[in-house]
């Protein structure tokens, strides 16, 4: 997922599972800041050291979540594949100016873009991801 402005993605991301999927799906919101998830999701803050993120994500696989939403920064190639293993559906916040190859290599095939238009109207697009 990308957004314009960038802060919009952080605002919307924790709510995507509830907005787009069945409310009974169990979701987890993973971030590296002190931002709460939507009330319907479990939330976890990752360690401050990005080198630990992939292993931390691997441990979450055992919980068999239906949906994971991930807001992490840094080198996505290091943790993107592990994030996709946490649940059967994943939404990752990916900065628009970042290379798409690590996302594609991790198995992501669709890109959602959300933009705030006039009068705070939200515009959504969903397109195939190209590396």
**pLDDT given for residue 101 in this prediction:** 86
Residue ranges per domain, the chain?
A: 2-128
**pLDDT given for residue 63 in this prediction:** 93
pTM greater than the 0.95 cutoff: no
Is domain 2-128 annotated with CATH 3.90.1010.10? no
pLDDT digits (tens, 9 = 90+) for 46-90: 888 888 888 999 999 999 999 999 988 776 778 888 888 999 899
DSSP 66-131: EEEEEE--S-GGGTHHHHHTSEEEEEE---TTS-SHHHHHHT--EEEEEEE-GGG-EEEEEEE---
**pLDDT given for residue 37 in this prediction:** 60
Q: What's the token pair of residue 100?
A: 């798409």
Task: Read off the pLDDT of each residue in 98-117 and give the average, rounded to a whole number.
Answer: 89
């Amino acid at each position: 997922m990308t957004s314009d402005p960038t802060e919009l993605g952080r605002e919307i991301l924790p709510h995507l599972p509830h907005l787009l999927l069945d409310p009974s799906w169990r979701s987890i919101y993973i971030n590296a800041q002190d931002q709460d998830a939507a009330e319907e999701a479990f939330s976890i803050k990752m360690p401050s050291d990005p080198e630990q993120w992939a292993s931390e994500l691997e441990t979450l696989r055992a919980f068999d979540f239906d949906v994971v939403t991930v807001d992490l920064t840094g080198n996505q190639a290091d943790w993107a594949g592990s994030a996709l293993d946490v649940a059967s559906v994943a939404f990752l916040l990916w900065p628009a100016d970042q290379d798409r190859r690590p996302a594609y290599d991790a198995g992501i095939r669709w890109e959602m873009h959300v933009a705030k238009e006039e009068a705070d109207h939200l515009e959504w697009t969903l397109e195939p991801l190209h590396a």
